[in-house]
Structure 1
Amino acid sequence: MDAKRHIVHIDLDSFFVSVERKFNPSLIGKAVIIGGSADRGVVASCSYEARKFGVHSAMPTRQALKLCPHAIVIHGTHGRYSEASREVTQIIHNMVPLYQKSSVDEFYIDLSGMERFHDPFKLACDLRQKVIRETGLPISFGMASGKTVAKMATNQAKPNGQLWIKHGEEKAFLAPLNIGKIPGLGESTCQKLYQYGIEKIGDLQRVNLKFLEAVFGKAGTYIYNRANGIDDSEIIPHGDRKSISTETTFHSDVNDKRTLENVLVSMTEELAGKLRREKKVSSCLAIKIRYANFETHTQQQKISLTAAEHILIPGIKNLLKSAWNQHRPIRLIGVRLSNLCTGSYQINLFEDNEERIKLYQAMDNINFRFGDKTVCRAAGMEIGARTFNPFMKG
């Protein structure tokens, strides 16, 4: 018989809004929208008071204000969010042996085996109270035998609550919920299931696995397992890749600003595309320069959490300007994006407008289907595919 697992999912409620309310308590209890400007901006996050009117993230701000005209729109302060996320991570790090940071405001914790020394539910409660006490941020958690049920329990516990689904009670907890509550079940899958009269997870639990496999292929097994509270996926410890970089050595030293900038644009595009594919964002940008005599300089700059080139490229060009003594030819140049954390495209919504979001989605879609660098900026194209460029190697 397998040992019982105790998985906790922790989520900071309306994270961006809660952080802003800490600095401006007059926002408490009000409909708050965080994101871009009212004309072409997009909602990055919103308070529960705004959600009641149908506002949600990635919605054009213009549309959100039609639904909720009295909402207060705030542009958002990146440094505050990074700092708050770091504070919460540190508290968790100091209290539990194994955890996974799955986004800036979301964590999975594995307390399996700890029941010999501690009551896992009490430990989770103590942790939640410590976060509330030390950061002033509202936080919810769910505890269950697997990641999926724990996450769904958190969603039921919100706002600012906690819920423990005991072993053997998973199916009963899931049964009355709508199938749309299952994480990872897309809109089209739900619509297909609705056509078969399957609306509640309880309906799904009565369906034969063979039927689901016939309709959805391999995904049928995933749907069946999740509906029945089966999820053996492991907690991936915090501390996966923290930076991503690339560099190029020139065959002959380069002293031309435009050539250097074009190479940097191409490298930055490549790294940014990789981040978006891995659903990561960076908050630190660095440049590396090596001169002909092998003297090497690096310079870095803190930036807002992003994976968007239109923010990264100007930053990289500024670093080149400040790091490079323009009279000296360069032998090697490199770009590094660090302080990576998991974060959906949502975080970029602070700066982006609707057109830009659609452009990035289209570019990533094409590059994903047809290979990297199928579409890129004109500056990146000037240097062509680097492997075919006679000036460069490696």
Structure 2
Amino acid sequence: MVQKRYIVHIDLDSFFVSVERKFNPSLIGKPVIIGGSADRGVVASCSYEARSFGVHSAMPTRQALKLCPHAILVRGSHGRYGEASREVTQIIDETVPLYQKTSVDEFYIDLSGMERFHNPYKFATDLRHRIMRETELPISFGMASTKTVAKMATNQAKPNGQIFIEHGTEMEFMAPLPIRKIPMLGAKTCEKLYSYGIEKIGDLQKVELRFLETVFGRAGLYIWNKARGIDTSEITPHGDRKSISTEHTFDADTADMRTLETILVSMTEELAFKLRKEGKIVGCMAVKIRYNDFETHTLQEKISLTAAEHILIPGIKNLLKKAWSKNKKVRLIGVKLSQLTTGSNQINLFDDNEEQIKLYQAMDTINFKYGDKTVCRASGMEIGTRNFNPFLANA
């Protein structure tokens, strides 16, 4: 007898918006757009109020504001989102035996076998309520026999709802939905199916496998299975992340070396602080440059394990000099620190004297208490974006 699978797909509703509303309740009930500048940025996330005007993620911010002129544009905070994601992850990690984190706001959980001791749907419901209670964030979930159907169920449960697709009802649940609702079914594939009059998943379920293989080749079987909710993919256990990174898109393209270095130093300092906060050290660093013609270059270098910016920053600056083509203007710049491993900030890891260690400990203590960048290096001050700080550490 084949064991029934109970797969839960969890999605934090309008995650970035929900986090911002948690810190600024005046945004509740209003159209909110999280994204870059009005002229050059794109929409990272938007509230359901903004979506009703046709706004969606990955849309140019300029276009979004034309569709919804009264929307509130928020630049967003990666630090806030990362912390909120970690809170949710910790709750899930403490509660379930097997889960997979697929993005900052999305999880798959395998509760198969739990039905012998607990009601899986009630268990998932209690987990959802706990996450909402402890994080104050809205969350939706779908439960089904496969990852594909569970994800589709979550999308139907939004906003802030839950659905259980009982075993044997998968095709019935999927039939009335548009074919574009099938996860990983691309726009070109949908257009091809539309040309044959196939618009609903129910229409696709009636098509013979031979026809799909004739039209799509090997992908035909994949499409045929997906339309029937057939998905044997397993939950890949969650593991520690292997890298940490950040990027900055300039409002105006620049070829000024001092500006590029200033931004890189600031980002490196921020990442190094996060590493120390999480008890991590890195063995590789990289610089990413995207020019105004969208040509992108990445240069990396292996280093001795560290989480100290006074070691990282000179290396990052050196990579910038090697990677940058001076006759081109830069649109985006980024820093990535990889090969993460657990490690404390011992003197041998910093390869420095005790006074340097005490300086880091003092800086981190203040930043832990009062927030990131309360104390930072003068060389990392972004031009025109921070006020004078009397606690500034001269470096």
Instruction: Give the TM-score, by structure 1 length.
Output: 0.66
Alignment-derived partner of residue 103 in structure 2: 103
State the 1:313 CA deviation: 9.1
Q: Which residue among 276, 279, 288 is the counterpart of 2:303?
A: 288
Determine if contact 2:285/2:303 at 8 Å carries over to the other structure.
no
State the 1:58 CA deviation: 1.3
Indicate how the Cα distance of structure 1 residues 82 and 314 shifts in structure 2: closer, same or farther if over 3 A, else same.
Answer: farther
Residue by residue over 1:23-63, the C-alpha shift from the partner in whole angstroms, topping out at 9 and shown as x without a partner, is 00000010000011111111111111101111111111111
Alignment-derived partner of residue 50 in structure 1: 50
Within-5 A mapping of 1:345-360: none
Residue by residue over 1:101-144, the C-alpha shift from the partner in whole angstroms, topping out at 9 and shown as x without a partner, is 00000000000000001100000000000000000000000000
Indicate how the Cα distance of structure 1 residues 270 and 76 shifts in structure 2: closer, same or farther if over 3 A, else same.
Answer: closer
Within-5 A mapping of 1:1-394: 1-239=1-239, 242-243=242-243, 268=286, 288=303, 298-300=306-308, 316-317=316-317, 336-337=337-338
Residue by residue over 1:131-160, the C-alpha shift from the partner in whole angstroms, topping out at 9 and shown as x without a partner, is 000000000000000000000000000000
CA distance in 2, matches of 1:89, 1:134: 12
State the 1:243 CA deviation: 3.9
Q: Unaligned stretches of 5+ in structure 2? A: 246-263, 265-283, 291-299, 321-335, 342-395
State the 1:240 CA deviation: 5.6
CA distance in 1, matches of 2:133, 2:182: 31
Determine if contact 1:244/1:338 at 8 Å carries over to the other structure.
no
State the 1:241 CA deviation: 5.3
Paired residue type of 1:175: A
CA distance in 2, matches of 1:119, 1:32: 38
State the 1:299 CA deviation: 3.3
Q: Unaligned stretches of 5+ in structure 1? A: 246-260, 273-284, 290-296, 302-311, 321-334, 341-394
State the 1:318 CA deviation: 9.2
Paired residue type of 1:138: P
Indicate how the Cα distance of structure 1 residues 23 and 63 shifts in structure 2: closer, same or farther if over 3 A, else same.
Answer: same
CA distance in 2, matches of 1:134, 1:67: 35
CA distance in 2, matches of 1:145, 1:17: 31
Give the SS at the match of 1:176.
coil
CA distance in 1, matches of 2:151, 2:201: 15
State the 1:269 CA deviation: 5.1
CA distance in 2, matches of 1:313, 1:214: 56
CA distance in 2, matches of 1:162, 1:244: 32
Paired residue type of 1:288: I
CA distance in 1, matches of 2:118, 2:204: 36
State the 1:268 CA deviation: 1.7
Indicate how the Cα distance of structure 1 residues 43 and 122 shifts in structure 2: closer, same or farther if over 3 A, else same.
Answer: same
Higher relative contact order (CA 8 A, sep 6+): 1
Indicate how the Cα distance of structure 1 residues 238 and 27 shifts in structure 2: closer, same or farther if over 3 A, else same.
Answer: same
Q: CA RMSD in A?
A: 3.2
State the 1:336 CA deviation: 3.8
Give the SS at the match of 1:44.
strand
Instruction: Give the TM-score, by structure 2 length.
Output: 0.66
Indicate how the Cα distance of structure 1 residues 79 and 139 shifts in structure 2: closer, same or farther if over 3 A, else same.
Answer: same
Give the SS at the match of 1:84.
helix
State the 1:217 CA deviation: 1.0
CA distance in 1, matches of 2:301, 2:4: 45
Paired residue type of 1:44: A
